[in-house]
Amino acid sequence: MLDSVLDGLGILGTSPEMLALFVGFGLVVGVLFGFFGMGGSFLVTPALLMLDYPAPVAVGSGMAFVFGTAVIATLKHHDLGQVDYKLGAIMITGTTIGIEVGRASVYYLESLGLAGALISVAYVVLLGGVGAMVTRDARRGDGSGDIDHEAADKDLSEYEIPEIAKTIQQTVRIPPMVTLRGDVRVSAWVITAVAFATGLLSGFLGVGGGFIRMPAMIYAIGVPVPVAVGTDLFEIVFSGGLGSYLYGQGGGVDLGIVVPLLFGSALGARIGSAATAVVDADGIKVYFGGMLLVGATAVGIGEVGSYIGSPTLEMVGLVLVIGAAVVVAVAILYTSVVSLRTTRKQQAVTAD
């Protein structure tokens, strides 16, 4: 009975070694996602590409994984009252069209035999760019563009709207104008444009797009940070669900990949989220930026290996991608345990 269920889900088609690898990788990705609130999922698609999965399967399964992760995270943020459903509903239209254009591009490029190479190049540029930006900010001690873990405790009216968002709100006043949580008033067209651009990236790369959409919501629309995080996740539930459905119709979603990844990541996300209460994110952020840069290099090396037919180089790329994620996840866990033990010792000394 269990065999037939598992077989029906496509899980038995995956070897036990690969299942263990996906659960373990999911755990690592979950810790990163839970801690940084972003940045885990876009390691999945390049890793699958390096494992020689066809581009539509790598992107489709990556997107289905993002969908599952977003469902879990949205349930949590809903409980905290951090989801703006009006903003999410407006964004869904733009994101849906963007995702569909991105997805159609992947199938078109696949028919030309260019999808794997071009998606890898896009990843190198994106991971490298975001990685360089995060590393630069971390070295300067600037927390901008990142999730403020203390932000969740502030009242929404206490948030200052960034200057660039104020300028956009004052200059782009094309009706209909909408009022969002935190008394933000903005043109629905600005929201739609942000949604389309990030949806395009989601559809093309199989990522949630949160690492671009969240800063875009904060700096282009001007919504408070916790609302940006919660609404982004709510929106990914729909966009990721639709994207997964479309990829699934083309045979691009492999449950043998998604189910074990999600199993590991749901646990990892709880651990990562709990770690935010005890670890200073700025101390870890430089590792996060480094991880993205190593990821970009790894995808580049893997692609060169694939191009010249060198399995060794492809393996080096895969080990670098997974290794970099593991190192940062272990750094978060280690720092958390050390910090907790130090706090406990101090409490014991005070009590004495």
Partner 1 sequence: MAGLEIPTWDPETALLIGTILLEAVLLYVGYGGLERLFGPRLMAFIVGGEENAR
Question: Contact positions toward partner 1, by CB under 8 A?
Answer: 9, 64, 67-69, 71-72, 75-76, 100-101, 104, 107-108, 111, 241-242, 244-246, 248-249, 253, 255, 258-259, 262-263, 266-267, 270, 337, 340-341, 344
Judged by beta carbon, residue 101 or residue 117, the one nearer partner 1 is 101
Judged by beta carbon, residue 76 or residue 310, the one nearer partner 1 is 76
Compute CA 262 distance to the chain's CA centroid, rounded to the nearest angstrom. 13
Place of tokens 């609404």: 231
Judged by beta carbon, residue 69 or residue 120, the one nearer partner 1 is 69
Cα–Cα distance, 66 to 73 (Å, whole number):
10
Judged by beta carbon, residue 76 or residue 117, the one nearer partner 1 is 76
Cα–Cα distance, 195 to 212 (Å, whole number):
10
Please state the closest distance from residue 78 (CB atom) to partner 1, in A.
11
Distances in Å between the alpha carbon of 214 and those of 211, 221, 227, 312? Answer: 6, 10, 10, 37
What single-letter amino acid sits at 41? S
Please state the closest distance from residue 214 (CB atom) to partner 1, in A.
21
Please state the closest distance from residue 251 (CB atom) to partner 1, in A.
9
Supply 250's token pair.
């083309």
Judged by beta carbon, residue 104 or residue 330, the one nearer partner 1 is 104
Judged by beta carbon, residue 111 or residue 170, the one nearer partner 1 is 111
Judged by beta carbon, residue 124 or residue 253, the one nearer partner 1 is 253
Please state the closest distance from residue 269 (CB atom) to partner 1, in A.
9
DSSP secondary structure, 118-160, as one string: HHHHHHHHHHHHHHHHHHHHHHHT--TTS--TTGGGS-GGGPP
- Residue 79 makes CB contacts below 8 A (sequence gap 6+) with none
Cα–Cα distance, 79 to 291 (Å, whole number):
31
Q: Are 91 and 195 in contact (CB under 8 A)?
A: yes
Consecutive H or E run containing 180:
strand 177-180
Please state the closest distance from residue 301 (CB atom) to partner 1, in A.
30
Please state the closest distance from residue 166 (CB atom) to partner 1, in A.
36
Please state the closest distance from residue 67 (CB atom) to partner 1, in A.
6
Cα–Cα distance, 350 to 283 (Å, whole number):
26
Distances in Å between the alpha carbon of 321 and those of 50, 53, 65, 115? Answer: 10, 16, 18, 20
Supply 146's token pair.
């990142």
Supply 221's token pair.
């629309």
Judged by beta carbon, residue 242 or residue 328, the one nearer partner 1 is 242
Q: Are 168 and 222 in contact (CB under 8 A)?
A: yes
Give which of 18, 204, 198 is closest to 106, Cα–Cα: 204
Please state the closest distance from residue 346 (CB atom) to partner 1, in A.
12
Judged by beta carbon, residue 273 or residue 306, the one nearer partner 1 is 273
Compute CA 75 distance to the chain's CA centroid, rounded to the nearest angstrom. 17
Please state the closest distance from residue 224 (CB atom) to partner 1, in A.
25
